Structure 1
Amino acid sequence: MKSNFQTLLTIKRLGINGEGIGYYKRKAVFVDGAIPEEEIICEFIKEEDNYIQGKVVKIKKPSKDRVEAPCPYFGRCGGCQLQHIKYESQLKFKREIIVHSLERYLTKYDQLNIDIKEMIGMDKPYYYRNKAQMPVANEGRNVVTGLYAANTNHLVYIDTCIIQNEFINNTLDIIKVLLPKHHIMAYNRKTRSGNLRYVSVRYMENTKECQVVLVLKDKHMTNISKLAEELMTKVKEVVSFYVNINPDISSHEIYGEEFIHIRGKKTIEALIKDIKFTISPHSFYQLNTKQTEVLYDVVKQLANLKKTDKVIDSYCGIGTISLFIARDVAEVRGVDITEQAIKDARNNASLNNITNAYFEAGHAETIIPKWIKEGFKPDCIIMDPPLTGIDDKLLSVLKRVKVKKLIYVSCNPSTLAKDLNELTKVYNIEVIQPVDMFPQTSHVECVTLMSRVKK
């Protein structure tokens, strides 16, 4: 192919990363920023064996779904992928991403007649994120925050982010003023000066409590305590302040292993409806507070739980789903590989005076058969795995135990479809309900109800 080759391209659909997908001589062409039904002049950047990477040179025929992105950083920062698409159309395209994943990975998809509901969106699809983790850099004598451009280590400086809670943006502004005042500067890889790598702010709007974590390269913490004191005086909602030490500058992980409590409470409190949760800096907690209630209501509704039911919550984390449903069932048991998450789950059960929830640390593929052997026979198993999907060993267990109902909460349509391809050997797919947990981004979340095949 010639260098800088250009062609007219019609965009057929949206890809799993939010890119437009067209076809040139039967080969997929991925184009960031393009929208289905658009005709564009596309320049080919890179060609691989099974796909081409392209870029928009000119939009010849814009989509009716195209809008002006409200964020000045859109297209440069890697945080959002879909701000240039009408929100109601984002919901439609995300549902189509689920359909395409099922068509690709689920054998006999066309014969299964799966009921895929319309995606549940938000009334206000901006300023929803309850947590920010921002890389930092020095600009003269000031410290600035930003986000990395997609697939690069180039930091795009950002004054405000319109998908983060406005309180978080305001708190970050105050922190950026206090950092140079207390002589705390960003780590510079070239000069190896400075110590600060990231600023993390988590804010629970329904409890008005905020936790701040400064990620440092090493334990040189001069003036950190003074900064924490001044910040917590200026911003009363900041009730917990930590430092995290992450010396591995080559790692993509934001946090290192060591957290040091500096000031205030060790945890902040969150609410999902009337259920309380304590959140430590390392706790996994859903990033969209309002939609989390919607998501868990969908779980409860699809599971159609009874007071006599026994439920297992695999990948339970700090017990959010387990405790959300506990009052509707006879007993719920949660399992997670992370010891600290299980300790937090037990503490959260006590905090809510919930006595019918039991939590155990370990591998679900080992713990679940053990419980069943001991006489605990679940009516329903709920799974909320990471992006990589359900572990192969757990898939084997699920096919073997054949419970009445499975609830699969997925954040990755591709791994969902691959896992469903295995589970449909034993279970029927009853319904899939998508929920938009991350408006303006390509992330897709959905809840699938499966029932045991009756023979």
Structure 2
Amino acid sequence: MYRKNEIIELNITSLTSDGDGVGRAGEMVFFVPNTAVGDTIRAKVLKVKKNVGFARVEEIVTPSPDRIEADCPVSFSCGGCVYRHISYEAECRAKRQKVIDAVTRIGKLDGELVRDIIPSKNIDGYRNKAMIPVGRNRDGEVVMGYYARHSHHIMHCLRCQLSPPIFNDIIEDVYAFLRHRPALVYTPQNRRGIRHIYLRYAETTGDVMFCIVAGSRHFDGEDVLYHSIKEKYPQVKSIIVNVNAEDTNVILGKHSHTVYGEKFITDTLCGLRFEIAPEAFYQINRTQAETLYAKAKEYAHLSGGETLIDLYCGAGTIGLSMADKCKELIGVEIIPEAIENAKRNALQNGVHNARFFCGDATSAAAKLRLEDVAPDVIVVDPPRKGLTPELIDTIVQMSPDRVVYVSCDPATMARDLKLFTEQNYSVKEITPVDMFPRTSHVESVVMMSKVRSRFNKKSKLIVNLCYYC
């Protein structure tokens, strides 16, 4: 049995789904952050359970061929990047393996179904959205930055490699404004100050939204801050205050007030213009989102005469990108503001074969089935928790020829694919797409086809025939 603070030597042989290195010492498996496959390390034991331990790197004895010099001073403690110390090629291999592991172990599917990962065109500066927590340290000094890994401790950091330069510049200016005004920072006691700085960026137009999340609509010196931001950054087309005085980890409150400009900014995606409001879902990596949606459209195999249902449609981005290739598009989303956004996006893009309505995906799909809506293709893009068994049952009962599953979590995706394959659907292909370089996250697009049965008179057997086999 190994003891806490003991120094041990490990060879890192694989990576966990969160990007931690895995090494064995006897019968014990140790997880060590900031390591690479092929590293030989000396590690300090932090915690020991029955067969599993956790450790941190004390010394790199022999570096992995994949290892590179980390180019961010806080990457080893920040909760964002986990792969800044390995090459991008090695990161892509690890992410593809993460998908393979999930579909084989959880989904009980053939790993050969997983195609090569589509790498991101931009490794840094790709984030068009940032939520920067604001707080005070033990000495009462203002801190801004990012949460440390697995905690709500704000690690002071004003510049992030994943953000566009204008985000970093604005954050530095806000910090310069707040550092001498610590009383303006939100605390659970005052419930009035600034909690987060929320930024959104439209890549094709260059427009920026500057949003302050605060416990109250007004705060001392607000006019000074707003004026300085408007004067210095003409790209800022919208300044918004979102009010959240609740004692909660949810960042945005229910009410937003436009201080300057419009209540949204506009970007172009897949040749369509989209309004981006503070609450609206919009893919963080716009350039790679076009790649993701193109793959989803390819898997939908639309010819122009199909009825397409887009569940979890958000602001309508996926469905509207396919509307030109289907007869009818029906979008479903539980967030009312997103549905209104989707309707406006359809209108301003001249899409007249689409309708959107608000509702939970499971109940909405059941409602459509009762209306005898017969979809040819269903696209699902669920949150990290995946689909409910009830929704999967309803989709199967609606009997679409094809289901396209866009996933942000390989584990829940694999779980759901197993349920589909048990109910007359066949997984034809899975393509991982790297939407978030340097983080542990990976998206996947799955093509499923309905398995049809036909009676074979000669053999007296039921023969399964599958579309697009």
Q: Give TM class, smaller chain.
A: over 0.9
- In the alignment, which residue of structure 2 is the partner of 1:217? 215
AA in 2 matched with 1:59: I
The 5 A counterparts of 1:278-297 are 278-297=275-294
The structure-2 alpha-carbon separation of the partners of 1:27 and 1:380, relative to structure 1 and needing over 3 Å to count, comes to farther
AA in 1 matched with 2:173: I
TM-score w.r.t. the length of structure 2 is: 0.90
- In the alignment, which residue of structure 2 is the partner of 1:30? 31
Gaps of 5+ in 1: none
- Return the offset for 1:224: 2.1
The 5 A counterparts of 1:365-404 are 365-404=362-401
Give identity over the alignment, percent.
33
- Return the offset for 1:128: 0.6
- Return the offset for 1:410: 0.5
- Return the offset for 1:374: 2.6
- Return the offset for 1:429: 0.9
AA in 2 matched with 1:92: R
- Return the offset for 1:223: 3.2
- In the alignment, which residue of structure 1 is the partner of 2:338? 341
Q: Which moved more, 1:6-15 or 1:277-286?
A: 6-15
**CA displacement 1:328-381 (0-9 Å, x = unmatched):** 111111111122211111111111111001111112222223323433211111
- In the alignment, which residue of structure 1 is the partner of 2:246? 248
- In the alignment, which residue of structure 1 is the partner of 2:310? 313
The structure-2 alpha-carbon separation of the partners of 1:141 and 1:394, relative to structure 1 and needing over 3 Å to count, comes to closer
- Return the offset for 1:120: 0.9
The structure-2 alpha-carbon separation of the partners of 1:26 and 1:308, relative to structure 1 and needing over 3 Å to count, comes to farther
Is 1:262 paired with 2:263?
no
- Return the offset for 1:188: 5.1
TM-score w.r.t. the length of structure 1 is: 0.93
The structure-2 alpha-carbon separation of the partners of 1:152 and 1:375, relative to structure 1 and needing over 3 Å to count, comes to closer
Q: Distance in 2 between matches of 1:319 and 1:53?
A: 43
Q: Distance in 2 between matches of 1:38 and 1:87?
A: 17
Q: Specify which of 122, 127, 130 is matched with residue 129 of structure 1.
A: 127
- In the alignment, which residue of structure 1 is the partner of 2:464? none
Is 1:150 paired with 2:149?
yes
Is 1:439 paired with 2:440?
no
Q: Which moved more, 1:176-185 or 1:15-24?
A: 176-185
**Does the aligned pair in 1 maintain the 2:289–2:435 contact within 8 Å?**
yes
Q: Specify which of 101, 113, 116 is matched with residue 115 of structure 1.
A: 113
Q: Specify which of 221, 237, 240 is matched with residue 239 of structure 1.
A: 237
- Return the offset for 1:141: 10
- Return the offset for 1:172: 2.1
**Does the aligned pair in 2 maintain the 1:229–1:263 contact within 8 Å?**
no
Is 1:10 paired with 2:11?
yes
Is 1:58 paired with 2:55?
no
Q: Distance in 1 between matches of 2:140 and 2:388?
A: 48
**Does the aligned pair in 2 maintain the 1:225–1:262 contact within 8 Å?**
no
Q: Distance in 1 between matches of 2:184 and 2:401?
A: 56
Q: Distance in 2 between matches of 1:287 and 1:380?
A: 26
The structure-2 alpha-carbon separation of the partners of 1:146 and 1:66, relative to structure 1 and needing over 3 Å to count, comes to same
- In the alignment, which residue of structure 1 is the partner of 2:84? 83
- Return the offset for 1:424: 1.1
The structure-2 alpha-carbon separation of the partners of 1:19 and 1:182, relative to structure 1 and needing over 3 Å to count, comes to closer
- Return the offset for 1:152: 2.0
AA in 2 matched with 1:22: G
The structure-2 alpha-carbon separation of the partners of 1:409 and 1:71, relative to structure 1 and needing over 3 Å to count, comes to same
Q: Distance in 2 between matches of 1:367 and 1:141?
A: 49
Q: Distance in 2 between matches of 1:152 and 1:292?
A: 29
**Does the aligned pair in 2 maintain the 1:240–1:264 contact within 8 Å?**
yes
**Does the aligned pair in 2 maintain the 1:179–1:227 contact within 8 Å?**
no
- Return the offset for 1:103: 2.3
AA in 1 matched with 2:114: I
**CA displacement 1:135-158 (0-9 Å, x = unmatched):** 124589985521111012322211
**CA displacement 1:225-263 (0-9 Å, x = unmatched):** 4422331122111111111222234x2222222222222
- Return the offset for 1:433: 0.7
Pairwise CA RMSD:
2.3
SS in 1 for 2:99: helix
**Does the aligned pair in 2 maintain the 1:309–1:329 contact within 8 Å?**
yes
- Return the offset for 1:167: 1.9
SS in 1 for 2:176: helix
Q: Which moved more, 1:283-292 or 1:154-163?
A: 154-163
**CA displacement 1:258-305 (0-9 Å, x = unmatched):** 222222111111110321111111111111111111111111112221
Gaps of 5+ in 2: 454-469
**Does the aligned pair in 1 maintain the 2:192–2:216 contact within 8 Å?**
no
- Return the offset for 1:194: 7.3
- In the alignment, which residue of structure 2 is the partner of 1:161? 160
SS in 2 for 1:8: strand
**Does the aligned pair in 2 maintain the 1:182–1:223 contact within 8 Å?**
no
The structure-2 alpha-carbon separation of the partners of 1:22 and 1:397, relative to structure 1 and needing over 3 Å to count, comes to farther
Q: Distance in 2 between matches of 1:97 and 1:238?
A: 39
- Return the offset for 1:438: 0.3
SS in 2 for 1:386: coil
- In the alignment, which residue of structure 2 is the partner of 1:412? 409
SS in 1 for 2:184: coil
- Return the offset for 1:193: 9.2
- In the alignment, which residue of structure 2 is the partner of 1:202? 200
Q: Distance in 2 between matches of 1:372 and 1:103?
A: 32
Q: Specify which of 333, 356, 366 is matched with residue 359 of structure 1.
A: 356
AA in 2 matched with 1:389: G
- Return the offset for 1:26: 4.5
AA in 2 matched with 1:281: P
Q: Distance in 1 between matches of 2:121 and 2:297?
A: 22
**Does the aligned pair in 1 maintain the 2:6–2:44 contact within 8 Å?**
yes
**CA displacement 1:378-416 (0-9 Å, x = unmatched):** 111100000101122101212333321111110111111
- Return the offset for 1:24: 4.0
Q: Distance in 1 between matches of 2:58 and 2:131?
A: 33
Q: Distance in 1 between matches of 2:121 and 2:370?
A: 46
Q: Which moved more, 1:47-56 or 1:319-328?
A: 47-56
**Does the aligned pair in 1 maintain the 2:14–2:37 contact within 8 Å?**
yes
Q: Distance in 2 between matches of 1:430 and 1:279?
A: 34
Q: Distance in 1 between matches of 2:341 and 2:98?
A: 35
Q: Distance in 1 between matches of 2:364 and 2:140?
A: 54
**Does the aligned pair in 1 maintain the 2:374–2:398 contact within 8 Å?**
no
The structure-2 alpha-carbon separation of the partners of 1:11 and 1:406, relative to structure 1 and needing over 3 Å to count, comes to same
Q: Which moved more, 1:164-173 or 1:206-215?
A: 164-173
SS in 2 for 1:4: coil
Q: Distance in 2 between matches of 1:259 and 1:439?
A: 31
**Does the aligned pair in 1 maintain the 2:7–2:45 contact within 8 Å?**
yes
**Does the aligned pair in 2 maintain the 1:18–1:442 contact within 8 Å?**
yes
Q: Distance in 2 between matches of 1:9 and 1:307?
A: 57
SS in 2 for 1:454: strand
